[in-house]
Amino acid sequence: MIRRLLLMVRLARPPVIVLLAMFTATGLAQAGHGEDRVHLLRALVVVFGFLVFSVACNDLADVLIDRVNLPGDRGRPLVTGTAYRRDMVVAAATAAVLSLAASLTLHWPAIVAAAAGLAISAAYSLRPARLSARGVVAPLVLPACYVAVPYLTGMFAVRETLRKGDLLLLAGLYVGFIGRILLKDFRDVRGDEMFGKRTFLVRHGRRWTCVFSAFCWTAGTVLLVASVRDPAVPLVVANAALLAAALLLLRALSTGRGPHRDDHLIAALAIVGRGIVLVLLVHLGVSDAHWSAWSYAGVMGTLTAGMLYLAVVMARRGPVITSTRYPFDRAGASERATPPAPPTRPDAGARSR
């Protein structure tokens, strides 16, 4: 039991759960309850269960591809042999029950949001639907889950209705996240090609993927600024600076100079994306607290400068795991590798005897 609980914690990958927690807090803040810690905690339990279920389903469906793209990645228990299919199934079922049970403590639309998110997430990864292998459908469906479920859960934690501004803000977060989710396919392109997974990158190539991503980043940022409560000049300036950084990084990514450089740029873009959400969240919190204009501007400027600095450092140095992630160069697309055999239980021979 303890091992399976630890597995669930591992499946809630830190960068992803932090981002989804920010979306949840944004929904709560947009509803005017940014400092309501009790409702935030309840909403986060729903989101945690949803995320673990989604990751478990995806790992079960893509284990062969992950063995090619992410050999030795500790974040993939099926690849490293630290967990088995039965463990993942149990983790997914437990997480789904946890998410639905926690949603019962919120307003009734939160139950609908959680149930719909779990159903769409299962259809994204699992057959017969397997939306993740259906080209442009994948980057449209996955953000609908990863943005809408936490955002709506946070909002429905404190009220039952949605307003026009709430929907426009959700649209901005959603469109912007599409631009980010397209970039994860750069890491997985070799395995996707080998197993016939027709992602946007496989179908349209590097240049058009970056162009479409840039369009989504721009449209999402404009929608976000236009729909947020009490927009102010510092918020506009912060978003403009972060968007400019994202477009410059996408331009560099479109040229293609090897997988390690791609990792550096995509990791930097992830920081910029989190910065946009964080700036939005701080704006909502500071507006509710009625800070002075000078304090507000100082916080927004410092936060934006800090995120840009981290993005520059990441673009130059890259994530720590980059040097060991690839056993081969992704640029050699014509070269094919045989996926490693699935792990076997260490006591399998003893049981057969």
- 146 and 237 together in one domain: no
Residue 135 resides in a domain: yes
What is the 8-class DSSP label of residue 343?
P
**Long-range CB contact pairs, 285-291, < 8 A, 24+:** 285/29, 285/34, 285/35, 287/229, 287/230, 287/232, 288/29, 288/32, 288/34, 288/35
- 201 and 148 together in one domain: no
Q: How confident is the model at residue 197 (pLDDT cuts 50, 70, 90)?
A: low
- 96 and 141 together in one domain: yes
Residue that finishes a domain, picked among 110, 128, 162: 162
Residues 95-107 have pLDDT tens digits of 999 999 999 999 9
Q: Which of 43, 30, 37, 40 shows the shortest CA–CA distance to 287? A: 30
Residue 161 DSSP SS3 = coil
- 267 and 146 together in one domain: no
Residue 338 resides in a domain: no
- 115 and 190 together in one domain: no
Is the pTM for the entire model greater than 0.95?
A: no
pLDDT, averaged across the chain = 85
Instruction: Report, as an integer, the average pLDDT of 156-180.
Output: 93
Examine the pLDDT at 58 and tell me if it is beyond 60: yes
The CA–CA distances, whole Å, from 184 to 113, 172, 210, 233, 303 equal 25, 20, 12, 32, 26
Instruction: Report, as an integer, the average pLDDT of 172-197.
Output: 81
Residue 121 resides in a domain: yes
Give the span between the Cα atoms of 246 and 214, in whole angstroms: 8
Examine the pLDDT at 68 and tell me if it is beyond 90: no
Residue 345 resides in a domain: no
Residues 6+ apart with CB under 8 A from 95: 8, 11, 48, 49, 50, 51, 52, 53, 56
Top mean-pLDDT range of 26-40, 70-84, 107-121: 107-121
Residue that finishes a domain, picked among 98, 129, 162: 162
The CATH number assigned to the domain holding 61 equals 1.10.357.140
Res 191: pLDDT:
67
Q: Which of 30-44, 122-136, 236-250 has the lowest mean pLDDT?
A: 122-136
Residue 235 resides in a domain: yes
Residue 329 resides in a domain: no
| 134: β partners | 198
Residue with tokens 């912007």: 176
**Long-range CB contact pairs, 208-211, < 8 A, 24+:** 209/182, 209/183, 209/185, 210/250, 210/251, 210/253, 210/254, 211/254
- 293 and 229 together in one domain: yes
**Long-range CB contact pairs, 73-81, < 8 A, 24+:** 73/325, 75/10, 75/13, 77/7, 77/10, 77/11, 78/343, 80/343, 81/343
Residue 125 resides in a domain: yes
- 143 and 203 together in one domain: no
- 154 and 225 together in one domain: no
Q: Which of 250, 284, 309, 260 shows the shortest CA–CA distance to 151? A: 284
Q: Chain centroid to CA 190: how far? A: 21
Residue 44 DSSP SS3 = helix
- 283 and 144 together in one domain: no
Q: Which helix (H) or strand (E) holds 120?
A: helix 108-125
Q: Chain centroid to CA 220: how far? A: 15
- 7 and 121 together in one domain: yes
Judging by beta carbons within 10 Å of its beta carbon (0-12, 13-18, 19+), is residue 9 exposed, middle or buried?
exposed
What's the 3-state SS for 15-39?
Answer: HHHHHHHHHHHHHHHHCCCCCCHHH
Residue 236 DSSP SS3 = helix
Q: Which two tokens stand for residue 115?
A: 């149930």
- 152 and 47 together in one domain: yes
Q: How confident is the model at residue 55 (pLDDT cuts 50, 70, 90)?
A: very high
Question: Which ranges of 290-347 would DSSP assign to H, the alpha helix?
Answer: 293-317, 322-325
Domains in the chain, number: 2
Preceding peptide of 143 cis, ω within 30°? no
Identify the domain containing residue 35 by its residue range. 1-162
One-letter amino acid of 105: T
